């Protein structure tokens, strides 16, 4: 897929992530007929700006680069913390896992209802990081390269820590979709699910979380300022009201 010039619209590229109705429906996902699973995939288009230079091997927890080189995946937590830490893929998998179902709404008007995710709550993940009191935001950084957007050549997005840690908002570091490890096109090995924020905030291929005092403009915000740093879903599109409202 060609990458848009940063001054152009995002039309035809990213969707937006909308309201989350928490449910146990994801547990039954594997019981659905194959035709139903295929239909779900067909109505959930793939949008990405990363260059196709790598894939992820969940069985070995390794990133496989185009040249065949393999390296163990690690999620780095650094910035305003007592001491930086690295978690391997198996260590992420060993943390308590939760399952949630969310609706995914595209800025172009299409929607995907009841997408089943699985992963780690940020309260569980960040509670191990020794975050310093000055930290107010978490900045997520992605694997892989993008076209230059305001100095960024990889995808990044930031969130208020208070939002990620608020259980009412249901944010999640997703490792699974449809009851299985995230496929590459959905953001393997890990992506952010932020049910009440637009989907350009739902960063894929997460490899680092940096704790900061201030918000950092993400890739799409730098590419086109029409996409703000803070991007709540319009309330008329939500099936569940935004608790922040």
Rounded to an integer, the average pLDDT of 183-206 is 94
Residue-wise DSSP of the chain: -PPPPTTS--TTT--EEEEE---SGGGGGGGS-HHHHHHHHHTS-----S-S-EEEETTTTEEEETTS-EEE-EEEEEESBSS-EEEEHHHHHHS--EEEEEEEE-TTS-EEEEEEEEEE-HHHHHTTS-B-TT--EEEEEESS----BTTBSS-EEEEEHHHHT-GGG--EEEEEETTEEPPGGGTTT-EEE-TTB-GGGS--SEEEEEEESS----HHHHH-TTS-SS-BPPGGG-SS--TT-
- The pLDDT of residue 141 is above 50: yes
Measure CA of the first residue to CA of the last residue in the chain; give whole Å: 37
Superfamily the domain 16-232 falls into = Oxidoreductase, molybdopterin-binding domain (3.90.420.10)
Break the chain into its structural domains and give their ranges: 16-232
Residue predicted with more confidence, 113 or 158? 158
pLDDT band at 40 (very low <50, low <70, confident <90, very high): low
Rounded to an integer, the average pLDDT of 221-233 is 92
Whole-prediction pTM: 0.83
- The pLDDT of residue 33 is above 60: no
pLDDT digits (tens, 9 = 90+) for 47-86: 789 999 999 999 999 999 999 999 999 999 999 999 999 9
- The pLDDT of residue 25 is above 60: no
Task: State residue 42's pLDDT score.
Answer: 63
pLDDT digits (tens, 9 = 90+) for 84-123: 999 999 999 999 999 999 877 777 666 778 889 999 999 9
């Amino acid at each position: 897929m060609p990458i848009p010039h940063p001054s152009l619209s995002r039309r035809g590229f990213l969707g937006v992530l909308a309201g989350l109705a928490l449910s146990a429906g994801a547990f039954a996902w594997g019981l659905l007929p194959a035709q139903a699973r295929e239909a779900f995939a067909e109505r959930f288009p793939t949008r990405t700006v990363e260059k196709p230079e790598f894939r992820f091997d969940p069985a070995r927890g390794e990133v496989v680069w185009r040249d065949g080189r393999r390296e163990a995946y690690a999620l780095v937590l650094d910035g305003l913390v007592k001491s930086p830490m690295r978690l391997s893929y198996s260590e992420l998998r060993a943390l308590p896992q939760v399952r949630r179902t969310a609706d995914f709404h595209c800025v172009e008007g299409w929607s995907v209802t009841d997408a089943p995710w699985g992963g780690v709550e940020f309260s569980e993940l960040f509670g191990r990081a020794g975050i310093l009191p000055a930290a107010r935001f978490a900045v997520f950084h992605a694997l892989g390269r993008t076209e230059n957007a305001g100095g960024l050549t990889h995808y990044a997005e930031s969130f208020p820590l208070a939002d990620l840690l608020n259980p009412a908002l249901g944010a999640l570091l997703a490792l699974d979709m449809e009851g299985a490890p995230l496929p590459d096109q959905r953001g393997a090995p890990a992506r952010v699910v932020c049910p009440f924020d637009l989907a350009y905030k739902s960063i894929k291929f997460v490899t680092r979380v940096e704790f900061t005092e201030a918000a950092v403009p993400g890739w799409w915000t730098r590419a086109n300022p029409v996409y703000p740093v803070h991007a709540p879903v319009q309330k008329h599109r939500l099936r569940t009201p935004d608790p922040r409202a």
